């Protein structure tokens, strides 16, 4: 059984900055942080890591209650910013997901730095939540490797329940838009497809040595052939 693990932002969809806007508004409203110090990188990182960095920069102790306060405020604002920003699915995404869903030998999951509830809001907003049965998320991990391990474990639990099979790293493909996605694929000995639909150029992605570097996800048949290669 093959497993395809998809990143969300700039791989499946583009929110036109809805997530970042919700972050900024939440820091301002909940913690009186008017401006983020320097350039905070969002691409390829977990929400947990980003929040921890911002809190540390402003001398705020990262307690469990602080994190929960952020999450509650962020999710409320994300629902609104998703509507305001008017993003959309990226080229080739819907045909590819539909083609994978028609097959009985591929299980689809999510591997993202988004917290689980935030990921669900984004996928639901753009109408693709029903394609994914499991995932690894950025609620607890500050590195992508930890999220990859969580995602592979979730895939294994799903396959054991539904197909009485285990998830094998060699038959798992991670699809993302950053060099960090390639790195996290390697951390679980999985294959990697990198797509230049985010901030990383095709040459930058190629330098990260994925198994396949593509401009986008429009070459459905080629991607399916790669995912299902023994």
pLDDT band at residue 121 under the 50/70/90 scheme = very high
> How far apart, in whole angstroms, are the C-alpha atoms of residue 56 and residue 36?
11
SS3 32: coil
Do residues 80 and 165 share a domain?
no
**Cβ proximity of 210 and 193 under 8 Å:** yes
Do residues 143 and 69 share a domain?
no
On the question of pLDDT at 43 being above 90, the answer is: no
Containing domain of residue 51, as a range? 18-85
Do residues 112 and 127 share a domain?
yes
Do residues 67 and 166 share a domain?
no
Comparing CA positions, the residue from 184, 166, 162, 164 lying closest to residue 174 is 184
Do residues 178 and 80 share a domain?
no
Per DSSP, helices labelled H in the chain are 18-31, 47-57, 64-85, 93-101, 116-125, 144-162, 179-187, 202-207, 220-227
Which of 45, 68, 85 lies at the terminal end of a domain, its last residue? 85
On the question of pLDDT at 40 being above 80, the answer is: no
- pLDDT attached to residue 168: 96
pLDDT band at residue 39 under the 50/70/90 scheme = low
SS3 37: coil
Do residues 222 and 120 share a domain?
yes
Which of 61, 85, 109 lies at the terminal end of a domain, its last residue? 85
Cα three-residue angle 189-48-36, rounded to 5 degrees? 125
> How far apart, in whole angstroms, are the C-alpha atoms of residue 25 and residue 148?
29
State the Rg of the chain over Cα: 17
- pLDDT attached to residue 38: 59
Do residues 112 and 32 share a domain?
no
Do residues 208 and 139 share a domain?
yes
Do residues 96 and 75 share a domain?
no
- pLDDT attached to residue 136: 98
Q: Please tell me the total count of domains within the chain.
A: 2
Which of 33, 61, 85 lies at the terminal end of a domain, its last residue? 85
Do residues 56 and 157 share a domain?
no
- pLDDT attached to residue 64: 87
CATH number at residue 213: 3.40.50.1000
pTM exceeds cut of 0.85: yes
Token representation of residue 84: 């305001």
Do residues 141 and 154 share a domain?
yes
Lowest average pLDDT, out of 49-53, 194-198, 206-210, goes to 49-53
- pLDDT attached to residue 210: 98
């Amino acid at each position: 059984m093959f497993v395809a693990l998809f990143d969300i932002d700039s791989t499946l969809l583009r929110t036109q900055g809805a997530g970042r806007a919700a972050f900024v508004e939440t820091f301002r409203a909940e913690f009186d942080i008017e401006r983020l110090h320097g350039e905070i990188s969002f691409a390829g990182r977990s929400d947990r890591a980003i929040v921890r960095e911002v809190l540390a920069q402003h001398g705020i102790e990262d307690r469990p209650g602080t994190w929960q306060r952020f999450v509650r405020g962020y999710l409320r604002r994300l629902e609104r910013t998703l509507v305001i920003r008017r993003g959309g699915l990226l080229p080739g995404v819907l045909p590819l997901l539909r083609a994978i869903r028609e097959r009985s030998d591929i299980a689809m999951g999510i591997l993202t730095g988004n917290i689980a509830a935030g990921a669900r809001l984004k996928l639901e907003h753009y109408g693709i939540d029903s394609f994914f049965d499991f995932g690894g998320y950025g609620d607890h991990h500050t590195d992508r490797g930890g999220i990859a391990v969580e995602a592979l474990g979730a895939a294994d639990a799903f396959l054991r329940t539904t197909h009485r099979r285990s998830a094998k790293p060699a038959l798992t493909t991670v699809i993302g838009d950053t060099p960090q996605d390639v790195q996290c694929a390697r951390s679980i000995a999985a294959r990697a497809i990198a797509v230049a639909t985010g901030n990383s150029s095709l040459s930058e992605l190629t330098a990260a040595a994925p198994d396949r570097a593509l401009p986008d996800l429009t070459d459905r048949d080629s991607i399916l052939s790669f995912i299902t290669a023994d």
